[in-house]
Amino acid sequence: MENVTAPFRSFALVSRERIARNYRRIREVVGPGVEVAGVVKADAYGHGAAEVSSILEAEGAHWLAVSSVEEGVTLRQAGVRARILVMAGFLPYEGEAVVEHELTPALQSLAAVAEMDRLARRAGKPLPYHLKIDSGMGRMGAREGAGEVAAAVCGAAHARLEGLMSHLASAADFASPQTAEQIARFDHLCRALAEAGIAPPYRHTASTNAVAYGRENAWHNMVRAGLGIYGYVPAARGAAPPRMLTVEPALAWKARIIAVKDLPEGAPVGYGATFRAPRPMRMAIVAAGYADGVFHSLGNRGSVIAAGQTTPIVGSVCMDVIAIDISHTTALGPGDEVTLLGEEGGVKLDAEDLARATGTISYDILCRIGRRVARVYA
């Protein structure tokens, strides 16, 4: 992707091949007996949900996962035909859209099971759902025991339980017992429900971390792969086993220089004069700011790649632009590109690097790339 360009001030290059290859690698790790649901919520972590969904469908994905009914409807309107799991369930006013667009909600409570049953009765057909179990994350999901879950499921004569699921809070943390405890609770509930005659076709608790670090007892017969599809696996903590999954970042972010100027020693740069030139320097103004997803906290501490070299951001990050020190080159001028995220001339700057610089996580970096940054697929 390094040599691909586009006629935009700021644009994200997304590699279709890397998306597809990362998905294939996840499938290879878990094997043919485990379904891989591609997580495309939050506009596919900033990569473009409709485009990524079409790539995954072409790779044979039977399931995609989103957060909301609205996201699911958007995919259906874009022509997506795969099953769509709505992981945050549905609100009462969204029921008709669930039916019309054939979405499969992940219900968060036993009360929601009763609501799903009423919806199915009104629709005049059985509607599938997955039930989320709070196995110890303390966020969403039913906390009741097997008896109460069984009663709710069996009491829903019109809705059909298709899957049991949970979410692991610390799958990459091997210094904590939380993941083992969550898996044990989930498996205990599944066994108890099976004894009561309730054995839905899908069980799933694992996302990218549990796949990448080989927590096979969390895979069951479906995994929900998100960040790994986009080329990242967070670092593990504690005595982690060797990583089983190798993926490559699928997105590179470029922006163009809109002005270049020479500054004398002592010249202030930007709001608040938080930077003063320590020497005569050449400065470029780049068409990307915090409205585009460049973290404000990167002022005077972040960097980009310009002319194949890591180049510091100087002064405050503005809404629409950043200033960078390009004293190392005279080759760059207005209209030329710099790399905010990606690789240029053998130098790399990825979402993990930016996350460390800003004190956040790679998910945050990718999801914050703004809408006015054009997405270009290659």
DSSP E strand boundaries for the chain: 10-14, 35-39, 63-66, 83-86, 104-107, 127-132, 159-165, 202-204, 222-225, 251-263, 268-269, 275-276, 281-286, 303-306, 309-314, 322-325, 337-344, 347-349, 374-377
- Residue partners of 221: CB distance under 8 A and separation at least 6: 33, 34, 35, 201, 202, 203, 204
Q: Which of 132, 254, 271, 348 is catalytic?
A: 271
Is 271 annotated as catalytic?
Answer: yes
- Give φ, ψ of 176 to 5 degrees: -115, 145
Secondary structure of residue 50 in the 3-state scheme: helix
Q: How buried is 187 (Cβ within 10 angstroms: 0-12 exposed, 13-18 middle, 19+ buried)?
A: middle
**Dist CA 6 CA 289 (whole Å):** 19
Query: Do 56 and 47 meet the contact criterion of CB atoms below 8 Å apart?
Result: no
Question: One of 23, 41, 232, 363 is an active-site residue; which one?
Answer: 41
Distances (CA, A) of 67 to 40, 79, 122, 208, 330: 8, 18, 24, 16, 47
Angle 16-30/49-58 helices, nearest 10 degrees? 50
The answer to whether the CB of 12 falls within 8 A of the CB of 370 is: no
Rounded distance between C-alpha atoms, residue 316 and residue 274, angstroms: 7
Does residue 132 carry a catalytic annotation?
no
SS (H, E, C) 210-223: HHHCCCHHHCCCEE
Report, as residue numbers or ranges, the catalytic residues: 41, 271
